[in-house]
Structure 1
Amino acid sequence: MPDSNQQLHEQEQTYYAKASRIKYFDIVIKSGKGAILTDADGNQYIDLLSSASATNTGHSHPKVVKAIQDQASKLIQYTPAYFANEPEVKLAKQLAELAPIDGPVKVAWGNSGSDANDGIIKFARAYTGRQYIVSFTGAYHGSTYGSISTSGVSLNMTRKIGPLLPGVVKVPFPSPWYRHPDESEDEFIDRMFEAFKLPFETYLPADETALIEIEAIQGDGGFAKAPARYLQQVYEFAHEHGILFAVDEVNQGMGRTGKMWSIQHFPDVHPDLIAVGKSIASGLPLSAVIGRKEVIDALSSPGNVYTTAGNPVTTAAAIATLEVIKDEKLVERSRDLGQYAEKFFNQLAAKFDFIGDVRLYGLNGGIDIVDPNTGKGDNESATKLIYRIFELGALMITVRGNILRFQPPLVIKKEDLDRGLSIIEQAMQELKDGTIKSPSDLNEIGW
């Protein structure tokens, strides 16, 4: 008899670090196909998370699987730190041509979004000769020391591990929940931009600042899109002062938002650097820093060298991933299904007063669960919802405690999407009726 979910979890608890998993549901994923996952007990789930937006092309896409198998039979690994391999050469050209960056572009490989964001810091400091880095509250850039220093989404990302990378300054991200009830959008943008400028006016010399990095649409920070005028002003401020402007596309890139890159929702903004990871190789460990040629060339080897970065198998998988995105029109599919899902969630918002806001950008977004009496985030109700959704056969998690994270694979079949949405509606109806039972470990679940 194969081991069950419970047996495998009991085995794992003896050996696995508690710092390495955010607790949600005690299941062991055994296999996946498209948008359907199967656990060790044989239960099936509609995936509404895409492995944290790392499997935009779904699970075990046949074209990606074939590319992995074909490449593995030829060459699994030889480090690009010393010698090129054919898939990484081809992929570098493709990514450079796809990048939303003006002028000649170059690529540097990594193994995860975390080290890609570390790389951005290195390249920016090397090019500008400056030290200071500006990032935003609510950001999630990764868990290496550089990327965890620029992140601002969880206290447990900084607790007990300081000192962090010096020279990092955080400014408030213009998330909608920071907008005052009586404040117009223009007033909100003006106030947030004043908060952005305050460090530069008081203690942070702009002429010693190398980089401003932002998620144009924050993911783990709550699925909040920066107002267009705000982002434009930050971008113009950066270039006015010789500061490089970088965008983290790890979570929101590769078609996730209904455009290939999230920054393409802001057509007048052209970053100097972007970080790519997660879905670039359909979940295999690969990332890239893509940037203006002169910026990337400012750093000499071995300043950004990793033994397995640009691995032949992962880059072959990435080439196949880009082919799937193009051939199956996943960018357009994300846009169209996202509009369909947004309409559905807005209908639910009219039905359930505990839905505070719906923010979808492509097949991707957040649904705020709030206390109807106060309008404040209701973590307990959100956790009850995702646990009931799990019991009914779909996987969904929360971010910021009270926000439902909605990121199904872009290949999800329409009937599976409808089933997943129906499950969400059933759970919400049960929450309204007061029939959902709280899991015994309610307070341990989530970020």
Structure 2
Amino acid sequence: MMRKQFANVKTSLPGPKAKELLERRHDVVPHGVSYGTPTFVASAKGALLKDIDGNQFIDFAGAIGVNNVGHSHDTVVNAVQDQAAKYIHTGFNVMMYDPYIELAEKLAELAPGRFAKKVMFLNSGAEANENAVKIARKYTGRQAVVSLTGGFHGRTLLAMSMTGKIKPYKYEYGPFAPEVYHAPFPYNYRRPEAMSEEAYTDELLKRVEDFFITEVDPSQVAAFIMEPVQGESGFIIPNKTFVKGVYDLCKQHGILFIADEIQTGFGRTGNYFAMDHFDVEPDLTTVSKSMGAGLPISGIIGRTEIMDKAKGGELGGTYCGTPLGCRAGLAVLEVMEKENLNDRAVKIGEKVMEKFRKMYDRFDAIGDYRGLGAMCALEFVKDRDSKEPDKDMTGRVLKKARERGLIALNAGVYDNVVRLLMPLVITDDQLDEGLAILEEAIEAAAVGEKVT
């Protein structure tokens, strides 16, 4: 086993201090609020986490894609401290503030689309997606919205209704919002074995066209909402032909195209926005997560004529576009530019995928590996021929990784995917060590017992 340089687990998890806090947590926090790592953070910097028992971890989770610029980046911390000393909140709809305007200007310039744009800010990704649908309905005068199977768009009522996976997000939480439909999304790894990718894509696009016959008439559809890469479903990457095909169908029928960039945005895939990989220009783009480096803020970027359809007071909320979040967002963009984090994401992705190729050759439990930029994943199966998902193996891998000082996340339609969302500021040494720990964890999990 390699000598650890950054990961340093001094005591089994949870440690004594964490055990005490876990007891208090279970007394006061409901079971529905889950946790992946049975300990509590004491400090975090860059791509490293330290818990209250002195254990140090390499972070390959990034708070589910929130920390692309790393934990507590000095530029972000200084901006937030400076803002807090001036004013914390006035309510943009009561007395406005210039960080909101400056951040809106920058995002309008960076977002895909060679057209005039306007930007509004909210609090969370789910809230951004719900408001994007409101805006689309207001502009088109239509009610229906179409999302894709396997997509994840949030946990509030409409966002949950658009989400394309039942457990744990929707089970026993109905009834759901009406006029929400789900069209097929390509899962290339699990396409019919005898079918080429090209034929598979053509078949799915035909099914989307037929969807307008069997499920909902296109004249009633306000918007399609699509993640450029499906996050919670295991980093499923559509090909350009499918994305452009759906986009063209939207244009043909006067349907707005909403790009959910909440997990894919701000450099994760090697561009500020992942839709740039697919050469489409969304009518509306939703953003959050790494936008604020941990401060709660989200946004909608859209065509001016669409965004302006709503009248005064129809959009907004008490904390929407908080000054602290706006200053954090400006600092994030400053860091991304100065540290060339889009290029860094590409290099991280190349290194991860090369390591994955070697792991694939070594471990039969890996059925597929895939990635776009630094958005990379391993899918575990019981058998490569049958492709039967192995959820238990995934759980063992993550547990073994934690024991060795690496924090990563599960995902997947079948909960059998390990996804990596390491901060883009991670050093090469930290990245190499984290990947080595992941390989050790897979090796240990391959002969391990079931996770309880």
- TM-score band by shorter chain is over 0.9
> Which has the higher mean CA deviation after the structures are superposed, 366-375 or 62-71?
366-375
2:411 is aligned, of 393, 396, 399, to: 399
Rounded to whole Å, the distance in 1 between the matches of 2:188 and 2:36 is: 26
Per the alignment, residue 20 of structure 2 pairs with: 7
Equivalent AA in structure 1 for residue 19 of structure 2: Q
Written as runs of structure 1 = structure 2, the 5 A alignment for 1:358-437 is 358-372=369-383, 374-400=386-412, 401-432=415-446, 434=447, 436-437=448-449
Cα separation, 1, equivalents of 2:43 and 2:146? 41
Given that 1:150 and 1:170 are in contact with CA atoms closer than 8 Å, whether structure 2 keeps it comes out as: yes
Structure 2 counterpart of 1:16: 29
Q: How far apart, CA to CA, are the structure 1 residues paired with 2:236 and 2:272? A: 18
TM-score, normalization: structure 1? 0.95
Residue 125 (structure 2) aligns with: 113
Does the CA-based 8 Å contact 1:274-1:289 persist in structure 2? yes
Structure 2 residue aligned with 1:355:
366
Residues 382-414 of structure 1: CA deviation (Å, up to 9, x unaligned): 110110000000001211211001110000011
Unpaired stretches in structure 2, ≥5 consecutive residues: 1-14
Describe the superposition over 1:27-64 as per-residue Cα deviations: whole angstroms up to 9, x where unpaired: 11221000000112111100001000001000000000
Counterpart secondary structure, 2:86 = coil
**Mapped pair 1:163 → 2:172:** no
Structure 1, residues 219-269: CA drift from partner, whole Å, max 9, x if none?
1111011111111111000000000011000000100001111101112x1
Of residues 49, 52, 62 in structure 1, which corresponds to 2:64? 52
Within 5 A, what are the aligned runs for 1:10-409? 10-21=23-34, 23-267=35-279, 269-372=280-383, 374-400=386-412, 401-409=415-423
Using the aligned pairs only, state the percent identity.
34
How far does residue 327 in structure 1 lie from its aligned partner after superposition?
0.4
* Kept in 1: contact 2:352–2:376 (CA 8 A): no
Contact 1:35 / 1:47 at 8 angstroms: preserved in 2?
Answer: yes
2:351, 2:150 → 1: CA distance? 28
Deviations 1:363-400 (A, max 9, x none): 11210111136321111111101100000000012112
SS in 1 for 2:334: helix
- The structural deviation recorded for 1:151 is 0.8
Inter-partner Cα distance in structure 1 for 2:95 and 2:166: 39
Q: Distance in 1 between matches of 2:443 and 2:169?
A: 35
- State the secondary structure of the residue aligned to 1:300: coil
SS in 2 for 1:217: coil
Q: How far apart, CA to CA, are the structure 2 residues paired with 1:17 and 1:114?
A: 21
Question: Matches of 1:162 and 1:304 in 2, distance apart?
Answer: 26
**Contact 1:141/1:248 (<8 A) preserved:** yes
What amino acid maps onto 2:24 in structure 1? Q
Counterpart residue identity of residue 16, structure 1: V
- The aligned amino acid for 2:160 is I
Amino acid at match of 1:143: R
Deviation string 1:299-323 (CA, Å, 9 cap, x unpaired) is: 1232221111111111001100100
For residue 438 of structure 1, report the CA deviation from its aligned partner. 4.2
Give, in whole Å, the separation in 2 of the partners of 1:404 and 1:65.
30
Measure, in 2, the Cα distance between the counterparts of 1:261 and 1:79. 28
Matched residue SS, 2:80: helix
Q: CA deviation at 1:143?
A: 1.1
Aligned residues of 2:188 and 2:197 also touching (Cα < 8 A):
no
- Structure 1 residues 321-330 or 79-88, which shifts more? 79-88
Q: 1:3: Cα distance to partner?
A: 7.9
SS at match of 2:248: helix
Amino acid at match of 1:100: P
* Cα distance in 1 for residues equivalent to 2:232 and 2:60: 15
**Residue 153 of structure 1 contacts residue 220 of structure 1 at CA under 8 Å; is this kept in 2?**
no
Of 59-68 and 293-302, more deviation after overlay is shown by 293-302
Greater shift in the superposed pair: 405-414 or 200-209: 200-209
C-alpha contact 1:79 1:307 (8 A) present in aligned 2: yes
Question: Aligned-pair distance for 1:208?
Answer: 1.2
Matching residue's letter, 1:5: A
Cα-Cα RMSD = 1.4
Aligned residue for 1:331, secondary structure, equals helix
Flag structure 1 segments of 5+ consecutive residues without an equivalent: 442-447
Secondary structure, counterpart of 2:402 in structure 1: helix
Q: Give the Cα–Cα distance (whole angstroms) in 2 for the partners of residues 203 and 437 of structure 1.
A: 45
Secondary structure, in 3 states, of the residue corresponding to 1:155? coil
Distance (whole Å) between structure 2 residues aligned to residue 248 and residue 102 of structure 1: 19
Q: Which SS does the other structure have where 1:45 is aligned?
A: strand
Shift of 1:437: 4.6
Return the TM-score normalized by structure 2.
0.94
Deviation at 1:280, TM superposition (A): 0.3
